[in-house]
Amino acid sequence: MGVEIERKYLVRSDAWREKVQRASRMRQGYLTEAGPASVRVRVAGDKGYLNIKSMTVGVERHEYEYEIDLGEANEILDNLCIGPRIEKTRYYVEDGGHLFEVDVFEGENAGLVVAELELTEVDQPVNIPDWLGDEVSDDPRYYNVSLVRHPYSRW
């Protein structure tokens, strides 16, 4: 069974930028956002993905992800997804012995910058860098599926 354990934090400064290892532009949309799971299509660089994630709030959720044809991923995004698309650049940042994924959102979610950290255990110790702010792992407003219907610019 696929399980994701992930903590999410607001980013409070640009100090992370000096530690960027690589970056990837992403565009994603949702086929469904109701019920027990969200179904997402994402284009990241030159790859397409289909993702199914439980709608559970918190740091541990069921998640399944499959690579799909890039052309088909773009067609699905353009023709089948609900609401506006999420557009962002994801930066991979090594700090404190961890690999953080810093998402800088664009469009209706411009101004929102969050860092995600995938863990192997729910209670795994985390070295929190100074550039991180409040943890928002338990706040569903910051889930990408929520940002489709309630963009950051409208809060």
The CATH number of whichever domain residue 9 belongs to comes to: 2.40.320.10
Position 124 scores a pLDDT of 92
Say if residue 1's pLDDT is above 60.
no
Q: Both tokens of residue 82?
A: 């609900």
Position 35 scores a pLDDT of 83
Say if residue 107's pLDDT is above 60.
yes
Mean pLDDT of 4-13: 96
> Residue type for 72, please?
E
Which residues have CB under 8 Å from 84's CB, separation 6+?
A: 107, 108, 148, 151
Say if residue 132's pLDDT is above 70.
yes
Give the residue numbers annotated as catalytic, written as ranges.
Answer: 30
Mean pLDDT of 41-49: 97
pLDDT tens for 114-131 read: 999 999 999 999 999 999
Domain that holds residue 22: 3-154
Say if residue 33's pLDDT is above 80.
no
Within 10 angstroms of residue 113's Cβ, the number of other Cβ atoms is: 22
Mean pLDDT of 107-116: 97
CA 74 to CA 125: how far, in whole Å? 38
Mean pLDDT of 132-155: 95
CA 56 to CA 53: how far, in whole Å? 9
Count of structural domains, the chain: 1
